[in-house]
Structure 1
Amino acid sequence: MSAPSAFDRRPLGATSLEVTAVCIGGGPLGSMPGAFDYETPSARGVATAVAALTSDFGFLDTSAAYNNGESERRIGEALREVGGLPSSIVLATKVDPDFETGQFDGAAVRRSLEGSLERLGVDRVDLLHFHDPERISFADAMAPDGAVAELARIRDEGLARHLGVAGGPASLMARYLYTGVFEVLLTHNRWTLADRSADAVISQAHEAGYGVINGAPFGGGVLARGWEAVQKYCYGPASAETERAIKAVELICGEAGVPLGAAALQFSTRDERIDSTIVGVSRPERLAEIEAWASWDIPGDVWEALEAASGRDAGLDN
């Protein structure tokens, strides 16, 4: 199978949205040093958002929680600079717990969305995700005054065209898909060269007609920059299994002359079950690098070696 272009467009499941194979992620452009170990100055973050909005990437993802709304504020400033949201761009954000109280009930979801719309300077978003719902119990989320019921009301009011669930634990994501409220699955850090624990839920979502988005193909940076530079996975300590997988695929890529980031990105973009892959970007010049990695020619024997060496049995959860 040849690598798709980063700009290839395809339907997002059964939604009305069409997205590019690569989605630009707004976490790093909002500056999240706790996760990525570096700061992104405000001017550079805005410039990165402007570059994304005026590029051929057709999908931009952010969250209320990315640096307490700073990612959304910078994207909002970029939208004002370019004269509003281009018709070619799908804009997604996520609702999060209350910044001060930590509450994640229906009222907090409503406040989260209202804050996002204000920061972004838009009247509605194309896609709204329930972000990391593992922070509360499933029963609380599904209560009459809970987060999920409020998200459904938000969609019914037209403030979000479509709803997704975005989280880590694959088994929990599957439970939310079974509710029938959500149209899109966003899994992160669980389908990479170092961790395949989202395999079953990705298949479940795809086969049922949901849109599937895979976030963090670089596992927080280590599968782009290498083990010596990062030495952690998913923003925290890596298990021994995960570390072995990372070092093994890094060695294979080095010997083959293939950028580690290209292999990590294509592990996701070449998967026909996945509609779009989110890549966080913190500087404008990274967009060209991502485009090049997405279409890098990786020989078949290298893929066979990567498949054999990567984290088939490693996983953050089941």
Structure 2
Amino acid sequence: MIALPTLGMGCAGIGNLYRPVDDRVAGETVAAALAAGIGYFDVAPHYGFGLGETRLGAALAEHDPQARALISTKVGRLLEPTDSDAAERHGFVDAPPLEPVFDYTYDAVLRSIDASRARLRRERIDLLFAHDLGAMVHGNDAARHMADFLAGGYLALRRLRDAGEVAGIGVGVNEIAVCHVLLDRVELDVILLAGRYTLLEQDAAAALIERCRATGTRLVIGGPYNSGILVEGSRTASHFDYAPPPASVVARVAELERACARFDVPLPAAALQFPLREAAVACVIPGLVGAEQVAATLQYAEWPIPDALWDAVGVPSPHEHAA
């Protein structure tokens, strides 16, 4: 299993999540991340319906021709042509005329990684995740998709790993329950958990973290800002879980802001550093768009945070991250 850096970059933003981003800005973002020493990029076919992978692949071809950066992408959705001309679909703006279609079968996984390799311009994908299994996304279809994955897709992931075509396999999800379901049945090298182990949701993943410690499964934490509110703050119209935040969340964020202000710590710095206090967490991957966000993220990652702040915001003593 490869060693991951503690800080990576999520690439949904350069796939036009919420707002359009031009090719130049997308390329500048990846270039700035590489120059800053960020050498791990997480993407998916779903991000802009191929746009995120295409832009990441183009930028890495120019700025990382020796392919030193680590890449993870995902399977579980195939991209099919669509006639829709809607400006926004599934949260992505001005994306190509393709529609993601769920398919977790053996053949679909192999088709998906081949298409991702072409868009990313790389033969080797370092980590490969099954994307968005579980009831949160699939509702009544969750059991059917899980059956397809266990009987087919997971076997394809194992084949790819055993053949050395990927270094590690796992799942990329926004819910905790499905992680337990999978760990009951299969071996996972990595779980990419987005938005469920954050400064706002400190305790929700406690049981999962204990299991990961026991099994040696590493955690990559996506969405450390809960889709934006922990970086944009309580006074700005932002997102929580990809939607407008409820009043209770806004109120809790305001409390966190006041606590951070007492110690002269930016809220995003506390949010970014929180997951890495846990030893089972290998890496945190905020979504980045623009060189300015890359620079700010490095500042947040290095900002000194006193223990008294963690006490003030209710964070218990950690299983310290092995840096």
Bin of the TM-score, shorter chain as denominator length: 0.7 to 0.9
Runs in 1 of length 4+ with deviation above 6 angstroms?
none
Number of the residue aligned with 2:142:
137
Q: Greater relative contact order (Cα 8 A, min sep 6): structure 1 or 2?
A: 1
Aligned partner of 1:146: which letter?
G
Q: Which residue of 2 aligns with 1:10?
A: none
Q: What CA distance in whole angstroms lies between the structure 1 residues aligned with 2:172 and 2:264?
A: 34
Matches within 5 A, 1:195-206: 195-196=201-202, 197-206=204-213
- The 1-side partners of 2:215 and 2:268 are apart by 30
Aligned-residue offset at 1:103: 3.2
Aligned to 1:96: 76
Amino acid at match of 2:278: D
Q: Identity of counterpart residues, as a percentage?
A: 28
Following TM superposition, by how much is the alpha carbon of 1:173 offset from its aligned partner in structure 2, in angstroms? 0.9
Is residue 113 of structure 2 the alignment partner of residue 113 of structure 1?
yes
Cα displacement string for residues 223-273 of structure 1 (whole angstroms, at most 9, x for unaligned residues): 011022234311114344433322210221233321110010111122222
Q: Could you say if the C-alpha distance between residues 112 and 58 of structure 1 is closer, same or farther in structure 2, counting changes exceeding 3 Å?
A: same
Which residue is 2:160 aligned to? 154
Unaligned runs of 5+ in 2: 81-99, 317-323
The whole-number CA distance in structure 2 between the counterparts of 1:278 and 1:176 is: 22
Residues 28 and 290 of structure 2 are in contact (CA less than 8 Å); yes or no, is this contact kept in structure 1?
Answer: yes
Contact 1:125/1:159 (CA < 8 Å) preserved in 2? yes
Structure 2 contact 13–287 (Cα < 8 Å) conserved:
yes
Equivalent residues of 1:64, 1:72 under 8 A apart: yes
TM-score, with length taken from structure 1: 0.84
Contact kept, 8 Å, 1:22 with 1:269, in 2: the verdict is no
The 5 A counterparts of 1:43-58 are 43-58=24-39
Find the aligned partners of 1:85 and 1:26 in 2 and give their Cα distance.
Answer: 20
Q: How does 1:16-95 map to 2 (within 5 A)?
A: 17-33=2-18, 38-87=19-68, 89-95=69-75
Range with bigger deviation, 162-171 or 232-241: 232-241
CA distance in 1, matches of 2:233, 2:67: 35
Which of 217, 225, 234 is equivalent to 1:218?
A: 225
* 1:137-189 superposed Cα distances (whole Å, 9 cap, x missing partner): 24543447532223223333433221011112211111112323321111110
Report the CA distance shift for 1:177/1:57 in structure 2 as closer, same or farther (over 3 A): same
8 Å Cα contact 2:198-2:271 kept in structure 1: yes
Query: 1:272 and 1:230, CA in 2 relative to 1: closer, same or farther beyond 3 A?
Result: farther
Alpha-carbon RMSD: 2.1
> Which residue is 2:200 aligned to?
194
CA contact (8 A) 1:231 1:238 kept: yes
Cα distance in structure 2, aligned partners of 1:155 and 1:230: 42
Tell whether 2:284 aligns with 1:304: no
Structure 1: which 5+ residue stretches go unaligned?
1-14, 310-318
For 1:305 and 1:68, how far apart are their aligned partners in 2?
Answer: 42
Q: Which amino acid is the alignment partner of residue 47 of structure 1?
A: E
Within the alignment, does 1:267 sit opposite 2:247 as a pair? no
